[in-house]
């Protein structure tokens, strides 16, 4: 009876692979890979000639039976395009099937963008919530963010470069202008970790075209309780009466209250009308 090995592979730098991973990849009878081209480059770099088969989101239901048959005769290694297989890829489905058929499963630990970005971020690491890849559709993405808006733990998510600005806009609108670390091309030549606020990240990547794969590390909700609507409106009206611009007033109240800036700004029209009415009465 063969064993399924979940083997972590480099997320960028080819030197980030363990001796055990190299031994296992050379000894198994088959390597199932999310991206066969990436897998063959890695194996060739270390002189490993193990046969490779594809196993990815588009064919996992077809390839599972093939891998189970291979396990009847020998060991199989599963690798993702980069990092730890089973995180945000169909490796989870294969592990379930292998366990259900009575084959042993073990992990060869190693690199993962999730933990690498988390410890680089400068944000709290004692507790965190992993969101995986953010949904592609804006409505689904905002719905997910609303679900975790009150979570006080650090949030970690993956995002593609062409959706980065849209996702940052949704993060600011739903979660507020929180601290964030935007990590890209980790362990590679052009590694970058941008640290600041969500609004600052939006400005930075609007001016500099996003390239590479991104990991977002977002500060958790404030330890203070979220204000109720009456308190938000009162604080907003106070600032508008003092002559503060609606945009600045909304930004300050959002930062203090735990409300998304966009929702607070929606109240400014009503607040501006009240201020205008008071001014009109005072001149009569």
Q: What pLDDT digit, counting tens, does each position of 166-204 carry?
A: 999 999 999 999 999 999 999 998 899 999 999 999 999
Q: By the 8 A CB rule, do 210 and 165 touch? A: yes
Q: Which CATH architecture has domain 114-218?
A: 2-Layer Sandwich (3.30)
In this predicted model, what pLDDT tens digit does every residue of 51-80 receive, in sequence order? 999 999 899 999 999 999 999 999 999 999
CATH class of 4-111: alpha beta
Q: What is the mean pLDDT of residues 228-251?
A: 88
Mean pLDDT computed over every residue of the chain = 90
Residues paired with residue 54 on neighbouring β-strands, in sequence order: 33
Confidence check: pLDDT of 122 > 50? yes
* Whole-prediction pTM: 0.77
CB of 80 closer than 8 Å to CB of 113: no
Contact 240, 271 (CB under 8 A): yes
Return the pLDDT at 158. Answer: 97
Q: Are 4-111 and 114-218 in the same CATH fold?
A: no
Distance (Å, whole) CA 221 – CA 210? 26
- Domain limits, the chain: 4-111, 114-218, 229-282
Q: How far apart are CA 241 and CA 150, in angstroms?
A: 30
Q: Please provide the DSSP assignment of 21-79 as one string.
A: HHHHHHHSSEEEESSHHHHHHHHHHTT----EEE--TTTHHHHHHHHHHHHTTS-EEEE
d(CA 271, CA 20) in angstroms, rounded, equals 64
Pairwise CA distance, residues 13 & 190, whole Å: 11
E-strand stretches of the chain: 4-7, 30-33, 52-54, 76-79, 105-108, 128-133, 154-159, 179-184, 192-197, 214-218
How large a percentage of the chain has pLDDT more than 90?
Answer: 73
Name which residue leads in pLDDT, 258 or 137: 137
Question: Out of 162-166, 179-183, 257-261, which region has the weakest mean confidence (pLDDT)?
Answer: 257-261
């Amino acid at each position: 009876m063969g064993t399924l090995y979940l083997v972590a592979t480099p997320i960028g730098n080819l030197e980030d692979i363990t001796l055990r991973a190299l031994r296992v990849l050379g000894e198994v009878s088959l390597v199932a890979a999310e991206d066969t081209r990436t897998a063959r480059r890695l194996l060739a770099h270390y002189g490993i000639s193990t046969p490779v088969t594809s196993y990815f989101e588009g064919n996992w239901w077809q390839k599972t039976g093939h891998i189970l048959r291979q396990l009847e005769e020998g060991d199989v290694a599963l690798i993702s395009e980069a990092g730890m297989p089973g995180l945000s890829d169909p490796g989870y489905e294969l592990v379930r099937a292998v366990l259900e058929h009575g084959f042993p499963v073990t992990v060869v630990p190693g690199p993962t963008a999730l933990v690498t970005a988390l410890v680089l971020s400068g944000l709290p690491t004692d507790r965190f919530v992993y969101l995986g890849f953010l949904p592609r559709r804006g409505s689904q993405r905002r719905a997910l963010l609303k679900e975790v808006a009150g979570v006080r733990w650090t949030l970690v998510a993956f995002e593609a470069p062409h959706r980065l600005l849209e996702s940052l806009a949704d993060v600011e609108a739903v979660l507020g202008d929180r601290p964030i670390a935007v990590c890209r091309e980790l362990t590679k030549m052009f590694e970058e970790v941008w640290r600041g606020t969500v609004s600052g990240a939006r400005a930075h990547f609007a001016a500099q075209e996003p390239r590479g794969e991104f990991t977002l590390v977002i500060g958790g909700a404030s330890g203070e309780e979220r204000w109720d609507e009456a308190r938000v409106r009162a604080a907003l009206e106070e600032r508008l009466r003092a002559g503060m611009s609606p945009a600045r007033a909304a930004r300050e109240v959002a930062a203090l209250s735990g409300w998304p800036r966009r929702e607070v700004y929606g109240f400014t029209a009503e607040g501006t009308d009240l201020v205008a009415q008071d001014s009109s009465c005072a001149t009569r």
